[in-house]
Amino acid sequence: MKTKLLLIASLLLLATSLSACTGGAVASSWPGLTVDAEHDTAYLAYNQYVYAIDLTTGMQMWKFPEKGKGGQVFYAAPVLTSDGQLIVGSYNHTLFSLNPETGLANAWSFKAKHRIIASPLATEKVIYAPVADGKLFALDANFREIWSTPFSAKGAIWAQPAPDGECNCIFVASMDHRLYAVDTRNGSILWDKDLGGALVGTPTLGPDGKLYVGSFNSELFTLDAMTGNIIGQPFKTEGWVWAGPALSDGHLYFGDINGNFYVLNTQDGTSKTTKLEGAILSTPLVISDTVYVTTGAGHLYTMDKEGKTIKPVVTIKGKLQAPPIMYKDFILVTPVGSDAYLIALDANGTQVWAFPTPKAK
Partner 1 sequence: MWNTVILNPMVNVLLWIYGLIGDFGIAIILFTILIRLLTQPLNAQQMRSMQVMQELQSSKEWLEAQKKYKDDKQKLQMAQAKLLQEKKINPFGSCLPLVIQFPVIIGLYQSLTSAMAVTPNQLLDLTKRLYPFINGSSLIPIKSHFLWMDLSQPERVTLFGIGIPTLAILVVLTQYLQGKLMTPTSSNPSDQSAQMSKMMNMYMPLFMGWIAYSLSSGLALYFLVTNIISIIQYAAMGKVNWRNILPKNLLPARTK
Judged by beta carbon, residue 23 or residue 232, the one nearer partner 1 is: 23
Instruction: Answer whether 253's CB lies under 8 Å from 273's CB.
Output: no
Rounded Cα gap, residues 245 and 206, in angstroms: 11
- Give the DSSP letter string of 13-78: HHHHHHHHHHTTTS-SS--EEEEEGGGTEEEEEETTEEEEEETTT--EEEEESSS--TT--B-SPP
- Map the footprint of partner 1 across residues 205-234, applying CB under 8 A: 215-218
- Map the footprint of partner 1 across residues 229-268, applying CB under 8 A: 240, 257
Rounded Cα gap, residues 297 and 243, in angstroms: 16
Judged by beta carbon, residue 197 or residue 349, the one nearer partner 1 is: 197
153, 264, 279, 300: which one binds partner 1 (CB under 8 A):
279
Size of the site for partner 1 (CB under 8 A): 41
Judged by beta carbon, residue 98 or residue 257, the one nearer partner 1 is: 257
Q: How many CB atoms lie within 10 A of CB 328?
A: 10
The secondary structure of residue 213, as a DSSP letter, is: E
Choices 25-33, 143-151, 180-188, 310-318; region in contact with partner 1 by CB under 8 A: 25-33
Judged by beta carbon, residue 50 or residue 257, the one nearer partner 1 is: 257
Instruction: Answer whether 179's CB lies under 8 Å from 172's CB.
Output: yes
Site membership for partner 1, residue 200 (CB under 8 A) = yes
- Map the footprint of partner 1 across residues 40-79, applying CB under 8 A: 75
Rounded Cα gap, residues 126 and 145, in angstroms: 10
Site string for partner 1, 163-192 (x = CB under 8 A): ------------xx----------------
Site string for partner 1, 104-133 (x = CB under 8 A): -----------x-x--------------x-
51, 96, 158, 221: which one binds partner 1 (CB under 8 A):
158
Instruction: Answer whether 177's CB lies under 8 Å from 134's CB.
Output: no
Site membership for partner 1, residue 288 (CB under 8 A) = no
Shortest Cβ distance from residue 215 to partner 1 (Å)? 8
Judged by beta carbon, residue 129 or residue 200, the one nearer partner 1 is: 200
The secondary structure of residue 94, as a DSSP letter, is: E
Three-class SS state of 11? helix
Judged by beta carbon, residue 8 or residue 347, the one nearer partner 1 is: 8
Judged by beta carbon, residue 18 or residue 107, the one nearer partner 1 is: 18
Full 3-state SS string of 227-291: CCCECCCCEECCCCCCCCCEEECCEEEEECCCCEEEEEECCCCCEEEEECCCCCCCCCEEECCEE
The secondary structure of residue 126, as a DSSP letter, is: -
Query: What's the half-sphere exposure (Cβ side, CA atoms, 13 Å) at 188?
Result: 3
**Positions in the binding site for partner 1 (CB under 8 A):** 3-4, 7-8, 10-11, 13-15, 17-18, 21-23, 26-30, 75, 91, 115, 117, 132, 155-156, 158, 175-176, 196-198, 200, 215-218, 240, 257, 279, 281
